[in-house]
Amino acid sequence: MSESPEDIAQRKMQFLFALRSRGVTDSNVLNAMERVDRGHFIRGTFAERAYDDMPLPIACGQTISQPSVVGLMTQALRLTGRDKVLEVGTGSGYQAAILSLLARRVYTVDRHRRLVADANATFRQLDLTNITALTVDGSFGLPDQAPFDRILVTAAAEDPPGPLLAQLKPGGIMVVPVGQSDAVQHLIRVTRTETGFDYDELLPVRFVPLVEGLGRDT
């Protein structure tokens, strides 16, 4: 059954309300999230839950993050519109699509070739031309394109990975969930200063782990 324009408007309002009520208040981030339809990034039976504020399963045993967490992470990056961004953990490509509307250039990497292929197809379909998705072990960053103004890690590491810290420009910001995969993790914002790194703890989160090496499908 196809939705009426009223249904779509109502659903969009509820989606934005859920984001705001969970602390996503930056109007640029809210606008980008209004423009990127999460339904394009979820295939199969879960597609009808695309506008619920919950994580959902995607291919390769991974998950598309909860929209409010996507919003809070994007907001924490303090994008300027001129940034070169690295995302580690392409997954469905949803987060990268939102970043692409708020940054100059987005590189996104995943260890599963299949996820990268599906995400690239969606980026082409939506005409998002400033995103490059690559199959790479992102624990080592993307040295060819470094340094970056912003780095977003969407899988949990035990500590902020050293190679990623090294690929951050002075003044640059990295947002990363830190903690054991089966315990409470915290979203951390790392700011590179002229002399070192500042750390802020933002909120408790739950992400799939950052795993070294490429996926078995590759």
Catalytic residues: 65
Stretch that binds ligand SAH, among 5-13, 57-65, 165-173, 181-189 (CB under 6 A): 57-65
Assess 211 for contact with ligand SAH (CB under 6 A): yes
113, 92 in Cβ contact below 8 A? no
Contact between 138 and ligand SAH (CB under 6 A)? yes
- Edge-to-edge, what's the strand order for the sheet holding 185-192? 131-135, 105-110, 84-88, 148-153, 168-178, 185-192, 197-205
Q: What is the Cα–Cα distance from 83 to 145, expressed in whole angstroms? A: 13
Tell me whether residue 76 or residue 88 sits nearer to ligand SAH (CB atom): 88
CA distance 73 to 44: 26
Query: Residue 26 or residue 100: which is nearer to ligand SAH going by CB?
Result: 100
Q: Which is nearer to ligand SAH, 144 or 194 (CB)?
A: 144
Residues 143-182 that bind ligand SAH (CB under 6 A): 154-155
**Token digits of residue 94:** 């949803």
| Cβ proximity to ligand SAH, 43 vs 170, nearer residue | 43
Residue 66 is a binding residue for ligand SAH (CB under 6 A): no
State both tokens at 93.
Answer: 């490509």
- By CB under 6 A, is residue 67 in contact with ligand SAH? no
164, 148 in Cβ contact below 8 A? no
Residue 208, class by beta-carbon neighbours within 10 Å (0-12 exposed, 13-18 middle, 19+ buried)? middle
Segment contacting ligand SAH (CB under 6 A): 9-17, 137-145, 163-171, 192-200?
137-145
CA–CA gap between residue 211 and residue 85 (Å, rounded): 21
Q: For ligand SAH, which is the closer residue by CB, 109 or 174?
A: 109
Q: Is 180 helix (H, G, I), strand (E, B) or coil?
A: coil
**Near ligand SAH by CB under 6 A, which window of 29-37, 46-54, 136-144, 192-200?**
136-144
Q: Does 75 bind ligand SAH (CB under 6 A)?
A: no
Interface with ligand SAH (CB under 6 A): 62-65, 88-89, 91-92, 94-95, 109-112, 115, 137-139, 154-155, 208, 210-212
